[in-house]
Structures are given as C-alpha cells and as structure tokens.
Amino acid sequence: MGIENYMEQARDQILRKSLMSDEFLDFMRENRLPLDTLMAHYHCAIMEMETKFNVLNRQFSLQYDRNPIESIKVRVKSMESIIKKARRKDIPLNLKSIEKNIRDIAGIRVICSFQDDIYVLADCLLRQDDISLIEVKDYIKTPKPGGYRSLHLIVEIPIFLDTEKKQMKVEVQLRTIAMDFWASLEHKLRYKKNIPSEEASILAKELLECAEISSSLDMRMEKIRNRIAKASLAAAE
Ligand code: 0O2
C-alpha cells in the first residue's frame, strides 16, 4: 500500500472515530431540530437557484432558439462531508460557524454544452438584484494542477420564510459536458483507496492529459457552433 493510501485510510479512521466522539454526538443531539431546519433552508435555496437557471434556459430558447443548459444537478452536502470539511479547515463545531464558514453546503451544478454559455449564464445570474456574489473561482481560466476545470460562484440568495427573509449561501458550479465527464471520472479515482500509488500516479498523468484534450475539444466544438451560426445568418440575408 502506498503512503498516500495509508495516510488517506488513517485520516478516514480518525474521521470515523471523531464521528463517534462525544463532541460530535453531543453536537448532533443538542442541535437536531436546528440542524434539520438549517438543512431544509439550504434545500429551499437550491430550489430558488434551480428555478433561476430554468427561467434563463427557457428565455434563451425563446429568444435565441437554443438551450444553453444541458442539465442541472443539485445536492445538499451530507452531514459526514460537512463534519469532514469542518475538521479539515479547523472550523468550530457549532451551527453559526458551520453556516458562516462552509459555503458549499447547498450546491448546484449547471452543465452547458459550450464554454461561452457558462460565462453568459454566470453574468445573467450575477446581474439579478437578489443575488450577492461572495467569491468567484475560475478554474476554467486557471485549471487546478490535476486538470479540474469549472467556474465556481459562491453567492447568497434570499429565501422567504413565514416571518423572515433569510440569506443563504449556495455554491454554483458551471461546467461543460466534457468538464463534467472528466470531473466524474477523476472523482472516482480520488475515492478509490486501494489503487497502488504507482498506478494512481500514472492515472493522474493520464487524466491531466485527457483534461487538456477535452478542453481543446470544447474550444473546437465552440468554434464549429459559431461558424454554423454565422453561415446560417449569412444564408438568411
Ligand atoms: P462534493 O462531494 O462535491 O461536496 P472552499 O469551499 O472554498 O472553502 P474547497 O472545498 O476546496 O474550499 O473549494 P473548491 O476547490 O472550490 O472545491 C469545491 C468543490 O469543487 C468540490 O467539493 C468538488 O465538487 C469540486 N472540485 C474541486 N476540485 C476538484 C477536483 O480536483 N476534482 C473534482 N472531481 N472535483 C473538484 P467537495 O467538497 O470536494 O466534494
């Protein structure tokens, strides 16, 4: 077993033990209702956000006769992942600090066919007056060293409850189909703990190369789409 796998397993064991620790169990016991309520609020924020993207997609199809969005995936982070992240980032285990510091509890992934649609959609979203931008991470302009590409926006969106309006943080990930395909495969490799380290590093190199090939394919496809649009416009004149 390689050292990385060993370390990963050791980390997992520590996490599992910490999930059973008195501190964690007390936290869950004392906060059951507020935790359920908070998770429900994140679900509501995701619903609001998903509606915004569906509206934009519908409007684009009416105005430009094309749908920029291929599909949308949503998720609320599991309690285990939240605790894992809180431990990794040394975030105190209480509701206020989790809500303040873990900004991707509510996540929406918008999959587009073309890279330029990603930026158009992001602009349209950020122009809406109920959305506040907290951070942009452009892993398309600056991919991660392993080859990961996506545009991440951390935003706040209001949800309207019976007696209050509450601002909720949502992580929006925008990527092309090719970027999504790549990220899903790479995610699988990341969570397979039993791959010998030598093979894992060969696969990582292979994945990096695939990321570059798929990025150039994205650009070529976009150019073809633009040429088709130009040619059909010229033919119509
Ligand atoms: P999951 O299962 O998607 O929840 P921050 O949130 O800014 O404090 P973080 O989490 O490092 O710090 O932010 P970053 O880098 O923007 O990553 C957030 C999410 O992006 C990850 O969530 C993944 O979904 C995705 N992501 C980032 N880097 C990679 C990568 O190299 N490969 C793949 N496949 N996905 C990536 P989680 O919490 O890791 O997981």
Block residue for tokens 């949308």: 72
What's the gap in Å between 63 CA and the centre of ligand 1?
34
Which pLDDT value is given to residue 142? 97
Q: Which of 21-25, 43-47, 103-107 has the lowest mean pLDDT?
A: 21-25
Q: How far is the CA of 148 from the centre of ligand 1 (A)?
A: 10
pLDDT digits (tens, 9 = 90+) for 33-56: 888 999 999 999 999 999 999 999
Better pLDDT: 23 or 128? 128
In this structure, are residues 149 and 96 in contact, taking their beta carbons and an 8 Å threshold? no
Which residue from 118, 112, 121, 116 is spatially nearest to 59, judged by alpha carbons?
121
Lookup: tokens for 172: 């929006």
Q: pLDDT category, 9, cuts 50, 70, 90?
A: low
What percent of the chain lies above the pLDDT cut of 90? Answer: 65
Check residue 187 and give its pLDDT: 92
Pocket of ligand 1 (CB under 6 A): 77, 81, 103-104, 137, 144, 146, 148, 152, 183, 186-187
Give residue 192's pLDDT: 76
* Position in ligand 1 atom list of the atom nearest CA 184: 34
HEC sequence for 94-116: CHHHHHHHCCCCEEEEEEECCHH
pLDDT at 131: 98
pLDDT digits (tens, 9 = 90+) for 148-181: 999 999 999 999 999 999 999 999 999 999 999 9
- C-alpha 118/C-alpha 120 separation (Å) is 6
State the sign of the Cα–Cα–Cα–Cα dihedral 204, 209, 215, 218. Answer: negative
- What percent of the chain lies above the pLDDT cut of 70? 91
Average pLDDT over residues 97-123: 96
Catalytic residues: 171
pLDDT band for 87, please (50, 70, 90 cuts): confident
Choosing from 104, 108, 136, 155 the residue with most ligand 1 atoms within 8 A of its CB, the one to mutate for a pocket test is 104
Considering only residues 92 and 24, tell me which one the structure prediction assigns the higher pLDDT: 92
Crossing angle between the packed helical segments 22-30 and 32-64, to the nearest 10 degrees: 70
Which whole number is the average pLDDT over 18-26? 68
Q: In whole angstroms, how far apart are CA 97 and each of 31, 85, 101, 102?
A: 13, 12, 6, 8
